[in-house]
Structure 1
């Protein structure tokens, strides 16, 4: 069995490819989004109970390999997967899409908290996700926050919440930024073509972009494409 820690488009594509090759796959989703797009093969939803719970699950289910294809900012599950695989001697591969290529006018920061302290504008388009809104709760700026699920407090005092799921177009992002008079975009270095439209729109409008760097990864083997992950699953002896 291969356990795919998923929730991303890459994870779904990997599961599809492995199932098509008649490999036994279980995809694990965190369960933070209602009605998620489900991958091919068996799916489990919910956490494992930390490092020890995941290690026990790997052992009890005779897992032969784990592919962590979670979001680049899902730092805790990646660390838990690394430690759990070390405990039970199961090979781990981290599948991460490439980050964004830097552009002129970008301000790089190491955390969302630092981004909240680095806002070169008064009207902010915030696309870091609902779990990070609390970091901006004390900021005086006006925020447009776009996310898939409704957020929970604390929230910024001056905020418009836009519930939407991508992909988005450059024309749509241009219209959105113009209509809200956005003068700074805040995002994470998540990478992927699906989220690049807002960056193209900001560049066209001359809007500065505050980009949160990815968290560091544990010292596990890493690939940047589904093709490489499929190849690895074969060489890992699964």
Structure 2
């Protein structure tokens, strides 16, 4: 039995864990950062590892054979730690990174490199903004006083985190286009701030902005570390099956063949005695 550790609580990570668990010879361990209060599937492990060294120690002590990073595209720190930990322990490592959204005809995007830059773009752009960057980054916009924000997150921010003026909406995708259009109309939204997360679960807001003629301040993804990458769950499953097959082939190759040798013919205890008797009689 080979063990795979899957990092992340994204929809892709959950689906991957469910399907990987059906592969014979694979034991799946899912790990969540612990920020989501109500994960949609029970996590085998919750909490941080303590950096690359802590993750490497976990991989080694739990005899993990494969590591798949299926975290959010903006979880840059854990992704870099995963690469370092896998290299230190010497196990196979994969990044599951869903493709980023691409601008199409009708989109009005203002592409920026960070939330901090996004915050500087908003004054003068809109008075009512739909902020969809997750709860961890809300404080970046808290200093803006002349803009009302509709903030959407899966879980509420920590009590000590400053948040902007506006309304906090707790909801988990996927969201429909009609629901997103209604939301923009109801709250008189004039601009959207979004991370370029990719995937289908929250893309409806991008389409809604396009159809409503609303600009989107799009925060671009951080750079990913070097290593093997796949764009979807099925490709990750194929990678896992190939690695499992490779391990099985190595095990077969390394096993020493059992060589059967014919046993020495049994000695006849009476043979010498019979010859001796013949000699004596002669």
Pairwise TM-score range, normalised by the shorter structure: over 0.9
- The residue number in structure 1 matching 2:162 is 154
Match of 2:179 among 168, 172, 183: 172
Cα deviation, residue 234, structure 1: 2.3
> Aligned-pair RMSD on alpha carbons?
1.3
Cα deviation, residue 230, structure 1: 1.0
Cα deviation, residue 107, structure 1: 0.8
SS of 1:146's equivalent in the other structure is strand
Number of aligned residue pairs: 235
In 2, Cα distance between equivalents of 1:31 and 1:129: 15
Cα deviation, residue 47, structure 1: 1.0
Match of 1:113 among 103, 112, 116: 116
Cα deviation, residue 200, structure 1: 1.1
In 1, Cα distance between equivalents of 2:87 and 2:166: 44
- The residue number in structure 1 matching 2:198 is 191
Runs of 4+ in 1 over 4 A off after TM superposition: none
Match of 1:225 among 232, 236, 242: 232
In 1, Cα distance between equivalents of 2:175 and 2:6: 27
Please list, as runs of the form range in 1=range in 2, the aligned pairs for 1:8-47 lying within 5 A after superposition: 8-22=10-24, 23-38=26-41, 43-47=44-48
SS of 2:30's equivalent in the other structure is strand
- The residue number in structure 2 matching 1:235 is 242
Match of 2:130 among 125, 129, 135: 125
Deviations 1:167-225 (A, max 9, x none): 21111111111111110000001011110111111111100001111110110110001
In 2, Cα distance between equivalents of 1:7 and 1:150: 17
In 1, Cα distance between equivalents of 2:171 and 2:63: 39
Kindly name which structure, 1 or 2, has the bigger radius of gyration based on alpha carbons. 2
Cα deviation, residue 232, structure 1: 1.0
SS of 2:121's equivalent in the other structure is coil
How high is the TM-score relative to the length of structure 2?
0.80
Cα deviation, residue 235, structure 1: 2.3
SS of 1:139's equivalent in the other structure is coil
Q: In the alignment, does 2:51 pair up with 1:50?
A: yes
Q: In the alignment, does 2:72 pair up with 1:71?
A: yes
Instruction: Tell which has more relative contact order, 1 or 2 (C-alpha 8 A, sep 6+).
Output: 1
In 2, Cα distance between equivalents of 1:194 and 1:200: 12
Cα deviation, residue 78, structure 1: 0.6
How high is the TM-score relative to the length of structure 1?
0.95
